[in-house]
A = this chain, B = another copy of it.
Amino acid sequence: MYIKNAWYVACTPNEIDDKPLGRKICGESVVLYRGMEGRVAAVEDYCPHRGAPLSLGQVIEGQLVCGYHGLEMGCDGKAVSMPGQRVRGFPSIRSFAVVERYGFIWIWMGAAEAADPSTIHNLHWADSPDWAYGGGLFHINCDYRLMIDNLMDLTHETYVHATSIGQKEIDETPSSTRVEGDRVITSRFMNGIEAPPFWKMALRGNNLPDSQPVDRWQICNFSPPSHVMIEVGVALAGQGGYDAPADKKASSIVVDFITPESETSIWYFWGMARNFNAKDKALTAAIREGQGKIFAEDLAMLEQQQQNLLRLPTRKVLNLNIDEGGVKSRRVVDRLIAAEQLIA
């Protein structure tokens, strides 16, 4: 079960620049491509003629052409033409509302006519010259909700990411969770601690000393369908923490777009947006590489956790204080899915 009436990240622009991309999203096979004037388009990855995958075709003069027998498919899912054949009466295939914005291609998995681009998750930093962004994509064989749990409970950093961002104080400092409509916010503030290795690197990247005590914060923001933006950072201790002036801290936003592929697999778009030394491309690359290594540490854990849950379906996972963010996020997901079911 997925929230359908929502904007998911389908891919990054570079994935469709050269040729169409076939990708399964929320259980549906979709082909994404650049149509007329480079505008992004998406239809079912299924040629109505013989069932060939349209993603093996190519875009010719802005039209998606099936790579098997040349059927030209409109971005509305209606067959346009085919050399020497009549295909206008063919049944339509699904077309999807898609938008290119903030450096991502967004797809609406509900009825296209209900799609409102103004509801795309706002990334205020994406078009600002004061910010830099680097990220990547992982395919992980786990339920998207397990990844939400993962990101809303950062105590796992102490164990999964012990050598980079983990530290004992995360475990020792309670977090607090609040719900605002469909959003869930889980925060943790740790003051006067030593920065872990990743943050020492970030401090140096912002020309700050890495040997002084710092105040560290983690503010996890869940919003539907399955986005988790995490404000993270460290400031020299006593300078105001989260509110410290820019030249006293290194802070960033961990970006997590979780796009379900199936009930037990996801496309995981991860990245980090920062507003210090934004023009330093070497720093962007170094952070991206570091984050990629750190986030890869979650893969085996999530995939084997998923296997355990599939193997023992009658057991229930248990919820502790630290799980409050995940629990409340799942409640939002469940409520929205139920509301969609009611209408459908």
Residues on A facing B (Cβ under 8 Å)? 22, 29, 45-46, 48-53, 56-57, 65-70, 82-87, 90, 149, 153, 155-156, 158-160, 168, 171-172, 174, 300-301, 304-305, 307-309, 311-312, 315, 317-318, 320-323
* Chain B residues whose C-beta falls within 8 Å of the C-beta of A155 in the assembled complex: 69-70, 83-84
- Contact between chains at B318 and A50 (CB < 8 Å): yes
Chain B neighbourhood of A317, CB < 8 A: 49-51
Instruction: Give the copy number.
Output: 3
Interface residue from B70, B308, B322, B323 paired with A53 (Cβ < 8 Å): B308
The answer, among B22, B172, B308, for a CB contact under 8 Å with A52, is: B308
B320–A51 contact, CB under 8 A?
A: no
Tell me if A29 and B171 are in contact (CB < 8 A): no
- Contact partner of A156 (CB less than 8 A), chosen from B53, B69, B305, B323, is B69
Q: Which residues of B contact A51 (CB under 8 A)?
A: 305, 308-309, 312, 315, 317
* A305-B68 in contact given A50-B149, A51-B315 (Cβ < 8 Å): yes
Q: Contacting A56 at CB < 8 Å: which of B22, B45, B301, B311?
A: B301
Find chain B residues with CB under 8 A from A86 CB. 320
Choose from B68, B309, B322 the contact partner of A69 (Cβ within 8 Å).
Answer: B322
